[in-house]
Every structure is written in structure tokens, then in C-alpha cells.
A = this chain, B = another copy of it.
Amino acid sequence: MSEMSGNEPVKAQESGDSAEKKPQKVGRKRDHTRDEKILEAAIDILAESSFDGMTMDKVATRAKAGKATMYRRWSSKEQLVRDALAWMNRSHLDLEHLPDSGSLREDLLLLIRPQSIAEEERKLRVLAGLGSFLQHPEFADTGMAGIFDSWADANLQLMKRAAARGEIAEHANLELACWVITSTSAFRGLVERKPFEKTFYADLLDGLVLPALKNPKADSPIAES
């Protein structure tokens, strides 16, 4: 969405008082197609190693860029990684063209495309290697938001339609179900380091999520011991 933020050279110049806002610059223009190459290289190396394993020299070499070029655009490694994470999470599922097979189970499974699996697994590898970087609370959101939200949103739409047509109980906790799907899938890739397989996903749906959605009898009160 917003794209970038800590860019542009230091640009700390106030030409006196009568600043007439004339940014008509002289000299060779900055090639902004290099931005993408550098961000892509950064994500690539983050996915292969980790935040600490990603050195600025590696990124520069991978992107065939000079370090001066990088530091002309980002003032630090932290800034570069922050923008690279935003860049990584730029793609979103198209909520306008969701599957509609008439079966919630089929819809949920149809959402899983091999291409998107590989993409999400790459994001998980990046996330796994972020380590100490995520300790900055400001980056915890930047790094996380957008990785799973898109998938969870799509799943929620599918569930709401299923509820509307009476396939699942209307008082089921759909948000919880979506969160369980994304968090368990993330845990599997992030911590267990297993690939996302459709058989695993089908087991999760058949063994837990769909039964709960179809029969969510809340027979237990909220007892706080």
C-alpha cells in the first residue's frame, strides 16, 4: 500500500526562508527500479539465513548494487529490512474472486494454490530468521501484519458464506477458527519446519475445524478458577 518511508537522501536543506518548493534537480536521476532489486535481494537473503546473517555486502552483491547506492536510499540496515518486510507483504489475496463451490471444505482447500504455498513458506522462513529484530515492538507488527491476515480474511469470507447458507452453525466462532488455521499452519512451518501439505490441511479441517463449526454447542460456562 503506502510503500516505503525512510527513503530519500538526508535532504536536510532549507534554502533560506523563501522556500519556493522547486525540486527540479540537476544531474542523473535516481533509478527507482533498483529499489525493487535491492529489496528483493534482501528478502532473498533473509529467507536463506537470518537478520544477522543478512549482511549489507551480501545484499549489494546479490542485487548487483553498490553499498553507496543502498545507503543513499536507506540510512541503516534496520530501515532497509523494515521496507523489505513491507515489500514482501505487499501481495494480497483477491477477496473479490474467492472460490464458491457450495462446500466450505472445498472452498477452503481451493484457496490453497501451490504458488501461494511457496510464497507463504518463503515468508515464514524470513520470519523465522528475524529473531532479535522482532524484539523491537514497532517491527513486530510490521513484520507480522500482512503475512497471514490476507489468508485469514479470505477464510473468514468463505466461512461467512457457509454460515449464510446454513452449512455451519451461525453462532460458531468464525474468527477463532480462522485464527487457528493460520496460527497452526504458521507454527508448522515456522517451528516444526515442515512443508505445508494439503493432506495436513485436510486433516486439520476434517479433524477439528469443520466439526467444531458444524456443532459448536457451548455446553460449558466460563468458569474462572
Contacts and interface: CB of A to CB of B under 8 A. Distances in A.
Interface of A: 49-53, 103, 105-106, 109-110, 127-132, 134-135, 137, 140, 144, 172-173, 176-177, 179-180, 183-184, 186-188, 190-193, 198-199, 202-212, 214-218, 220, 222-225
Contacts of A134: 128
User: Per DSSP, are chain A's interface residues mostly helix, strand or loop, or mixed?
Assistant: helix
Name, among A140, A186, A205, A208, the residue most crowded by chain B CB atoms within 10 Å (CB to CB): A208
Instruction: Report how many copies the assembly holds.
Output: 2
Given A173-B207, A212-B208, A225 B110 contact: yes
A216 B225 contact: no
A183 to B, nearest CB: 4
A89 to B, nearest CB: 14
Contacts of A52: 52, 131-132
Contact of A186 (B110, B173, B191): B191
Contacts of A144: 191-192
B211 A50 contact: no
Nearest to A174: B207
Contacts of A140: 193
B49 A127 contact: no
A203 B215 contact: no
Contacts of A225: 109-110, 198
A127 to B, nearest CB: 7
